[in-house]
C-alpha cells in the first residue's frame, strides 16, 4: 500500500497511564477514516502526537514515506499534515478574512512580505472570499472573531485547515459546538474535499460518521480495538462493550 500517512506503534504515557498504547494507523491518498471512541479514549492525544504538538515515548510517524518523528509541528504542516482543533483556536482580535488570508499566504510562503497588504492581492482575496462563502460565513469576513458566534468560529476553524491545502487532514470533532442548522455546511465542505486528500475525522455523531467514512477506527483506553468497515463496527462485540456505559455517559454530558 502506498501510504501517505503511516503511524507505527505510537505510545505515550501520562503519569504511568498509557493514554496512547501501541497505536498503528496508516492512510492512503483518498482515504476517509473516522476515528471514534468514548470520551477520554485518547483521540485528541493521538492527533497531538502525530502533529508533533506532543512528544511520544516511542513509535514513529511518516508522511509520504518520509519519517517525520523528529520534526517539529511547523515542519510537519509544511509537509502537508494539517489538523483542526476540537476547541477552536483562533485569533480573537482578528477577522475571518485575516485568518484565511494568513493561512493562504503561509501556504504560499508569502508571510515574510513586509511591504504589501493582503487586501491588495486580488488572487489571495478571491480565494479568501470563495472559501468563506463556501462555509457560509462570507458576510462575517470583516468582523472580529471575538464578536462572532461559536458555531461560526467552528466553521472558520475548518476554513483555516482547508486554506492550507493539506495532503493529510486531521479533523478533531469539526461539528462539535455547531448548531444543527450549520452542520450541513460543515458536512458539505468535508464532502467537497479533493478526492486524493487523506482525511481522518474524529466525531461522536454516528450519523455523520456513517455518511462520511469508508473506514472506521475505534479507540478505547488508548488502544485501537477495531479497524474496519462502517457496517462491521456496529456488530463488533468489543466495540459494543467499550461503548456500554461510557458512551451513554458521553451522550448525557454532551
Partner 1 sequence: MALTMNTETLSTARDRRARLTRDAVGVLVILAVAVLGYLLFPNNLALLTRITAIALLVLSLDLVTGYCGVATLGHAALFGAGAYGAGIAAAHFGITDPIAMLAVGVVAGALAGLVSGAVVLRAHGLPQLVLSIAIIHLAHEAANKASGWTGGSDGLAGIMPDAVFGLYPFDLWGRTAYVFGIVLLIAAFVILRQIVRSPFGMLCRGIKQDPLRVRAMGASVHGTLIRMYAISGAVAGAGGALNALSTQVVGLDSLSFTLSAEALVMLVLGGTGSLYGALIGTLSFLWFEDVVSAANPFHWLTIVGALLIAVVLFAPKGLYGSLAALLERRGRTDR
Residues that bind partner 1 (CB under 8 A): 51, 53, 72-74, 77-78, 82-83, 85, 89-94, 98, 101-103, 105-107, 110-120, 122, 125-126, 129, 160, 164
**Cβ distance to partner 1 smaller for residue 164 or 221:** 164
Nearer to partner 1, 47 or 209 (CB): 47
Which partner from the list partner 1, ligand ATP, Mg ion, none does 27 bind, CB cut-off 5 to 8 Å by kind?
none
Residue 39 interacts, among ligand ATP, Mg ion, partner 1, none and using kind-specific CB cut-offs from 5 to 8 Å, with: ligand ATP
Whole-angstrom distance, CA of residue 91 vs CA of residue 76: 22
56 interacts with ligand ATP by CB under 6 A: no
Residue 1 or 120 with smaller CB distance to partner 1 = 120
Under the binding rule (CB under 6 A), the answer on residue 43 touching ligand ATP is yes
User: Looking at 40, 64, 177, 230, which residue binds ligand ATP (CB under 6 A)?
Assistant: 40
Q: How far is the CB of 1 from partner 1 (least distance, A)?
A: 27
Helix axes 150-163, 180-191, angle to 10 degrees: 10
Q: Show the beta-strand stretches assigned E in the chain.
A: 5-14, 17-27, 32-36, 58-63, 66-67, 81-83, 168-172, 198-202, 215-220, 223-228
Q: DSSP characters for 126-185?
A: HHHHHHHHHTT-GGGTTS-GGGS-HHHHHHHHHHHHHHT--SEEEEESTTTT--HHHHHH
152 binds Mg ion (CB under 5 A): no
Interacting residues with Mg ion between 173 and 212 (CB under 5 A):
none
Q: How many Å apart are CA 33 and CA 47, to the nearest integer?
A: 13
Question: Can you tell me whether residue 228 is helix, strand or coil?
Answer: strand
User: How far apart, in whole angstroms, are the C-alpha atoms of residue 165 and residue 50?
Assistant: 18
Nearest alpha carbon to residue 53 among 89, 17, 9, 27:
89
Indicate the residue whose CB is closest to Mg ion: 44
Cα–Cα distance measured from residue 235 to residue 241, given in angstroms and rounded to the nearest whole number: 11
Encoded one letter per residue, x for contact with ligand ATP by CB under 6 A and - for no contact, window 86-125 reads: x---------------------------------------
**Candidate residues 13, 39, 58, 234; the one interacting with ligand ATP per rule CB under 6 A:** 39
Residue 44 near Mg ion by CB under 5 A: yes
Give the Cβ contact number of residue 129 at 10 Å: 14
Nearest to 49 by CA among 11, 87, 18: 11
Cα angle 87-93-98, degrees, rounded to a multiple of 5: 90
Residue 150 binding result from partner 1, Mg ion, ligand ATP, none, given CB thresholds of 5 to 8 Å by partner type: none
Q: How far is the CB of 150 from ligand ATP (least distance, A)?
A: 16
Please give the residue ranges that form the binding site for Mg ion (CB under 5 A): 43-44, 86
Amino acid at each position: 500500500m502506498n501510504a501517505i500517512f503511516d503511524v507505527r506503534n505510537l505510545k505515550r504515557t501520562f503519569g504511568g497511564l498509557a493514554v496512547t498504547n501501541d497505536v498503528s494507523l496508516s492512510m492512503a491518498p483518498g482515504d476517509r477514516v473516522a476515528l471514534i471512541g468514548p470520551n477520554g479514549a485518547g483521540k485528541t492525544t493521538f492527533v497531538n502526537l502525530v502533529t508533533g504538538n506532543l512528544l511520544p515515548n516511542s513509535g514513529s510517524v511518516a508522511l509520504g514515506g518520509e519519517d517525520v518523528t523528529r520534526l517539529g509541528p511547523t515542519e510537519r504542516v509544511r509537509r502537508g499534515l494539517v489538523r483542526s482543533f476540537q476547541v477552536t483556536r483562533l485569533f480573537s482580535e482578528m477577522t475571518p478574512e485575516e485568518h484565511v488570508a494568513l493561512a493562504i499566504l503561509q501556504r504560499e510562503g508569502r508571510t515574510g512580505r513586509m511591504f504589501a497588504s493582503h487586501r491588495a492581492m486580488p488572487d489571495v482575496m478571491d480565494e479568501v472570499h470563495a472559501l468563506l462563502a463556501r462555509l457560509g460565513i462570507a458576510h462575517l469576513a470583516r468582523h472580529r472573531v471575538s464578536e462572532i458566534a461559536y458555531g461560526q468560529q467552528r466553521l472558520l476553524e475548518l476554513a483555516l485547515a482547508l486554506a492550507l491545502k493539506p495532503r493529510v487532514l486531521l479533523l478533531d470533532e469539526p461539528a462539535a459546538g455547531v448548531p444543527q442548522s450549520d452542520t450541513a455546511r460543515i458536512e458539505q465542505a468535508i464532502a467537497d474535499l479533493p478526492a486524493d486528500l487523506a482525511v481522518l475525522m474524529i466525531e461522536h455523531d454516528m450519523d455523520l460518521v456513517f455518511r462520511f467514512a469508508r473506514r472506521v477506527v475505534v479507540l478505547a483506553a488508548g488502544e485501537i480495538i477495531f479497524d474496519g468497515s462502517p457496517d462491521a463496527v456496529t456488530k463488533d462485540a468489543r466495540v459494543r462493550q467499550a461503548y456500554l456505559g461510557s458512551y451513554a455517559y458521553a451522550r448525557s454530558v454532551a
